Chain A
């Protein structure tokens, strides 16, 4: 008798946990659909022909006559290739300069002994609290007065400084054992050589993480480039998108607009597909978007 009750109870519990699991999967799948749907919609709309798109009063969820015409339109009607190239240059140069600056100062804080090190580091840490909105006003005036509007120099210079990454790399540098440094010193290795030959290879994962995070940030930059460029020849993709939305194509050519959106989103999505482990790990250590 007792046994039967136990069995019944166990079966009930199993059913309940099965239902719970099915519900979990259902809910997670629903959220995955919500996440993916905008991407599906942008690709779908970009392959619908202009006339097909505009004749659908109730939008269709698929198309049987996909066309690549919109992609050709997107590249010919607006200087999309130009925006793309600008963003590549901006992202590449900013990231490289930032890495050099960050590596040098992280090394100074982690390894070198000098007067005022503690104080300077505290000062750096407190700068992390300063929101961009506070400094952007003066930077705008500075860059304008220097005549650097619509130049890569003006775009790049204020985007370089990243106190948080200095902090992140300094923590990593400090984990490299002191003995290595002392041994290198005995051998007569210079600091710079030690930094490049020993420290950077050991801490390469952190440096790559920082670089990827900066690349994502640069690729999506909108506010600063929007302030400092009004010449289309220097637009980045975000500003290009906004320009397309307000003036390009005529407001109604949404398929071409979506083709541009797909082209612009693709590089980062590819980067993510290749490096998704690294990116997610990096963001959980040092990301701040939320």
Chain B
């Protein structure tokens, strides 16, 4: 028995080492960094301890721009992608043929390198002196005027960013909702049909409540995912996101840490902690709201 006790820890040892070095210790360390004022990464010295880093970050126009971009991205893409995924999975459930084929095709973006496809999106939307680009050519068909979506006005860049994000996150949402819809007990629908319940009522009174836990799960993961957006933006607008005015909070953290504007782990830590606080608050609010509206069988 004593031997066994020791053995358990032995089996856990590799995981404990990895998690200890690269998760637990950094977790403590990031708080320490964020409180050290005037930290210099070359000499590893600092002036004092306090909240100055947080104040600096919160007054940095680049950070405020990043917060604005991230919030817009979250507020636009989460409802749009969840709603669209719900519509698509309802349609998938209603067709008898080709369902597997459609499902497989819809899932494709999940396995692709977002940097690589982001480049394709950039080329589709970009306007150069040599060509207006594919999307502008399409817009011209409907009498639209050519816009540079990559280096042009803010709303155009925001639009591309949201479109690409939706394109990237749809596979996961469709997959989850399709399996949620398939797991609804068909007896409910049979009873509703006997009672001649109108379709809309079936949707709001049976389908929606039955899959609400999954919708809710998608909203939470969607919020968290969108708040962490970064590499999609790099793919579209290049590594200098501050210059493009399209930085995100995570991008700000990475820029502060490394690269041309890097070398400030204290500011990066403060920004990362602010991001964590925002995400945590929103998740808790979501959980509180869900308790009232989500039906758990």
A binding-site residues for B, Cβ under 8 Å: 20-21, 24-25, 27-28, 31-32, 34-36, 38-39, 41-42, 45, 54, 56-59, 100-102, 104-105, 107-109, 112-115, 117, 120, 124, 127, 130-142, 157-158, 160-161, 163, 166, 191, 216, 219-220, 222-223, 226-227, 237-238, 241-242, 245-246, 252, 254, 257-258, 261, 264-265, 268-269, 271-272, 276, 279-280, 283-284, 287-290
Contact = CB atoms under 8 A, between A and B. Distances in A.
Contact of B134 (A41, A124, A245): A41
A98 B87 CA distance: 38
Tell me if B's interface is mostly helix, strand, loop or mixed. Answer: helix
20 contacts: A28-B102, A31-B88, A38-B124, A54-B131, A57-B132, A108-B9, A112-B4, A133-B272, A134-B273, A138-B30, A163-B19, A166-B15, A227-B254, A237-B113, A241-B116, A245-B119, A265-B112, A288-B225, A290-B173, A290-B225
A113 B120 contact: no
B226 to A, nearest CB: 9
B71 interface: no
B258 A140 contact: yes
Given A58-B131, A138-B25, A220-B113, A272 B108 contact: yes
A261 B14 contact: no
A9 B15 CA distance: 67
A245 B102 CA distance: 32
Contact of A57 (B114, B130, B218, B254): B130
A48 B47 CA distance: 59
Nearest to A263: B116
Contacts of A132: 228
Interface bracket on B: 35 or more
Interface string B26-49: 110110010000000100000000
Contacts of B15: 101-102, 104-105, 124, 161, 166
A108 B108 contact: no
B254 A36 contact: no
Q: Please give me the 9 A-B residue pairs with the lowest Cβ-Cβ distance, nearest first.
A: A114-B8, A138-B26, A108-B11, A135-B26, A105-B15, A112-B8, A290-B172, A138-B29, A161-B18
A268 B105 contact: no
Contacts of A264: 113, 116
Contacts of B29: 137-138
A271 B113 CA distance: 13
A31 B30 contact: no
Contacts of B295: none
Given A227-B254, A290-B221, A21 B231 contact: no
Contacts of B27: 130, 134-135
A290 B169 contact: yes
B21 A142 contact: yes
A211 to B, nearest CB: 14
B4 A138 contact: no
Tell me if A's interface is mostly helix, strand, loop or mixed. Answer: helix
A141 B41 contact: yes
Contacts of A135: 22-23, 26-27, 30
B137 A58 contact: yes
Contacts of A226: 254
Contacts of B273: 134
Given A35-B105, A138-B30, A113 B257 contact: no
Given A35-B105, A136-B26, A241-B115, 4 more contacts: A28-B95, A127-B24, A139-B26, A268-B112
B234 A222 contact: yes
A265 B116 contact: yes
Interface in B94-135: 94-95, 98, 102-117, 119-121, 123-124, 130-134
B250 interface: yes
A259 to B, nearest CB: 11
Contacts of A272: 107-108, 111
Contacts of A254: 123
Given A35-B105, A130-B23, A242-B115, A105 B14 contact: yes
A63 to B, nearest CB: 14
Contact of A120 (B12, B88, B94, B276): B12
Contacts of A271: 111
